[in-house]
A and B are shown apart, each in its own frame.
Chain A
């Protein structure tokens, strides 16, 4: 085990702007845990402890592969729809289907347009995802499932281009996606997200003194029973009709 190199303290006190605008997250109380200094009270004496060693550029480059919506983090490279199709068929279609429709319970990557208000929405890259950067980043870091981080930068560009084609976001099979034109692509549901505003819901904090007696005018009636569905493990049930979102 290598000994860590002793480092001189940077001696920088960390100063935080107070009253950071926190979205609409009423659940955050901003108070430090009891018995610990608040961030604003952090002083040079408790900043470093002389632990750790400097990270090398090569180490950072090896692990820092994340890509942001503005394109930060994109590597040099490019790939076409046609190139992506070949890679997809060889490495992805076995789970995700020839057209990204998803096989069995594996995720669908395409389709689902205009289903977000339907009773059973189909949330795919084309119908739901806000940013193309997430496609590149996620495929690069975590796919193929069981063989992650085996794709080259160019292969990920090609696959991303092909996924755009499968979702009719680009129509030309000769389309080439590259670092240069990456941020020109706008995803269909880019505007489909809003900050957490749960606190605005009427029931959320009606009062801290809820009704205790005679809260409903009529006797309560049962409207649904889980045993009718019968999908609990060990209940001798077969395949369920319910959908789940765990993947």
Chain B
């Protein structure tokens, strides 16, 4: 690809590839053995000719006080789907999973989901109130929060509606769109129990209402057991302050549970003896079944995985031969113990290789390295978590729930890999 960027830039070459323009020169479509056979090799001018960057100075250390990615990575961005919503301030965008590796999502690429736009709050003006069934209602300022004992934890955050547009069938071409309402970062904060214990939760206090300071005043009811277990009140992500779109200066972290509960711009915690049945746990985030009854309080995000490369936005451009297949797996139940990969739509499976750290309720990175013979393949991944839960097929889920659940679609994704290296989002029998 690099030799095509000189004239038209990386964007145009990427578009050409997505449209199926894979004419990358003679050696591109030959196999590994053939490419190693020296057939009248011509020399590469990128080596034989002096390049500008070999001769002239680049910018200095004063050019970028806060660095940005290379100009050649400018298409690695969050994207949105305008037709999904009435207004961009109550909407969602998508993490470019197909451009990322490892398990940590860069802060600037973490998907966004707002209900009243991004609140811009001066940290000195932010307050956190704890009240209700407590011994003493309290108010904290940000300086107070940073004096609590701190913990660092890596967790995935997945929107309950991630893959929701795929319930009725294959709809969007690209894992950014089908699976991109997820990110995974390291949070720094204090356990929620520290904040609650400071106020003194009364025995009857079995539920917690968390509320945001933004124009949607987002609220969710959380059972006290979860609140006292592994929830955090966090002010940093990946080492730096939360991004405004992720709740600056303060957000709730609810490991393994649906993203809607991770209240951003957290300003209020009320202790009570029953759930509040707020809009976001009645009208929304309830899962309609085929019989007309809806499940409520479907908090946990189940075991899930997706192949991020190759995928519709990341076609194979190198032709036959050695191919790296990679993807992400995660589970709200714990860690990922295994990921299987199928090349034939689920008839046969091989165990993939999980690489990198394996944290509780965090993303896991898997790889399957193989020699592609250029034939059409139906790629799938299937994750198994530490509790023994196996990722189901979409048809399994539809049989159990119908097609109107909207939320909690953790079904196995299929990509059709075509012989030209392009891929499509498909459903299979």
- Chain A residues with CB under 8 Å of chain B are 1-2, 4, 7, 10, 12, 14-16, 20, 22-23, 25-36, 39, 42, 46-49, 51-55, 59-60, 63-64, 66-70, 95, 104-107, 116-117, 119-121, 123, 125, 128-131, 133-134, 137-138, 141-142, 145-146, 148-149, 192-198, 201-208, 210-216, 218-227, 229, 231-233, 235, 239-240, 242, 244-247
Task: Identify 10 residue pairs between A and B in the complex whose beta-carbon atoms are under 8 Å apart, listed by A's number.
Answer: A20-B206, A29-B334, A39-B229, A60-B137, A116-B292, A213-B348, A216-B346, A220-B346, A235-B173, A240-B83
Q: Is the CB of B129 within 8 A of A4?
A: no
Give the segment of B32-40, B55-63, B163-171 that binds chain A. B163-171
Beta-carbon contact of A195 and B297 below 8 Å: yes
CA distance A104 to B85 in the complex (A): 10
Give the number of residues in B that approach A within 8 Å (Cβ atoms). 134
Residues of A within 8 A of B139 (CB): 52-55, 59
> What's the least CB distance linking A24 to chain B, in Å?
10
Please classify the interface of chain A as helix (H, G, I), strand (E, B), loop, or mixed, using the class held by over half of its residues.
loop
Q: Does B429 contact A (CB under 8 A)?
A: yes
- Is B197 located at the chain interface by the 8 A CB criterion? yes
Let me know if B225 and A22 touch, CB within 8 A. Answer: yes
Contact pick for B85, options A25, A36, A105, CB 8 Å: A105
> Cβ of B136 and Cβ of A54 under 8 Å apart?
yes
Find B297's partner among A46, A107, A192, A196 (CB 8 Å cutoff): A196
Residues B193 and A212 in contact, CB atoms below 8 Å apart: no
Known A42-B193, A194-B295, A194-B296: A54·B137 in contact at CB below 8 Å: yes
How far apart sit A178 and B295, CA to CA, in the bound complex (Å)?
Answer: 31
Does A138 contact B278, Cβ atoms closer than 8 Å?
Answer: yes
Say whether B148 faces chain A, with CB atoms less than 8 Å apart.
yes
Instruction: Tell me which residues across on chain A come within 8 A of B340, comparing CB atoms.
Output: 210, 212
> Are B138 and A66 interface neighbours, CB within 8 A?
no
Interface string of B179-210 (1 = CB under 8 A from A): 00000000000010110011111010010010
A214 CA / B177 CA spacing, docked (Å) = 31
Q: Which of B126-154 touch A at CB < 8 Å?
A: 129-132, 135-141, 143-144, 147-149, 151, 153
Q: Does B274 contact A (CB under 8 A)?
A: yes
Q: Are B296 and A49 in contact (CB-based, < 8 A)?
A: no
Q: Within the complex, what minimum Cβ distance (angstroms) separates A188 from chain B?
A: 12
B300 near A25 (CB under 8 angstroms)? Answer: yes
Contact with A along B350-362 (1 / 0, CB 8 A): 1000000000100
- Given A10-B200, A205-B390, A229-B171, decide whether A193 and B216 contact each other with a Cβ distance below 8 A: no
CB-CB contacts below 8 Å: B225-279 with A: 225-226, 228-230, 255-256, 267-268, 270, 272, 274, 276-279
Complex Cα–Cα for A106 and B384 (A) = 39
Interchain CA distance A134-B284 in the complex, whole Å: 11
Nearest-CB residue, chain B, relative to A15 = B203
A28 in complex: contacting residue of B193, B279, B300, CB < 8 Å: B300
Q: In the complex, which residues of chain A have a beta carbon less than 8 angstroms from the beta carbon of B147?
A: 49, 51
Specify the chain B residue showing the minimal Cβ separation from A9.
B198
The answer to whether A10 and B267 have CB atoms under 8 Å apart is no
Report the nearest A residue to B332, measured CB to CB. A27
Among listed B321-329, B364-372, B419-427, interface-contacting one: B419-427
Interface string of B324-344 (1 = CB under 8 A from A): 000000001110000010001
Partner pick for B197 among A23, A27, A32, A46, CB 8 A cutoff: A46
Flag if A246 contacts B169 (CB, 8 Å): no
Per-residue A-contact encoding for B51-92, CB less than 8 Å = 1, 0 else: 000000000000000000000000000011111111101111
Closest 8 A/B residue pairs (Cβ): A220-B345, A27-B300, A105-B86, A208-B388, A226-B425, A116-B292, A203-B396, A52-B138
B310 contacts partner chain A, Cβ-Cβ < 8 Å? no
> For the complex, is B302 an interface residue (Cβ under 8 Å from A)?
yes
Q: How far is the CB of A47 from chain B (nearest CB, A)?
A: 4
Nearest-CB distance from B299 to chain A (Å)? 6
CB <8 Å contact, A220 and B425: no
B129 touches A63 (CB 8 A): yes
Contact for B209 among A42, A66, A121, A196, CB less than 8 A: A66
Contact of B292 among A95, A138, A192 (CB under 8 A): A192
Which residues of A sit under 8 angstroms from B223, Cβ to Cβ? 20, 22
Q: A22-B223, A130-B277 are in contact. Are A104 and B137 (CB under 8 A)?
A: no
Query: Which residues of chain A are near B143, meaning CB under 8 Å?
Result: 1, 4
Which residues of B have CB within 8 Å of A224?
169-170, 426-427
Knowing that A4-B140, A27-B387 are A-B contacts, what are 13 other residue pairs whose CB atoms are under 8 Å apart, sorted by A's residue number?
Answer: A10-B136, A28-B225, A32-B230, A33-B153, A49-B148, A51-B140, A55-B131, A60-B137, A63-B268, A64-B132, A130-B282, A223-B169, A224-B427
CA distance A66 to B139 in the complex (A): 18
Q: Is the C-beta of B121 less than 8 angstroms from some C-beta in chain A? A: no
Is B29 close to A, CB under 8 A? no
Given the known interface contacts A148-B217, A216-B346, A239-B83, the answer about A32 and B229 at a Cβ–Cβ threshold of 8 Å is yes
A181 to chain B: closest CB distance in Å? 19
Known A33-B229, A192-B294; contact A221-B429, beta-carbon cutoff 8 A: yes
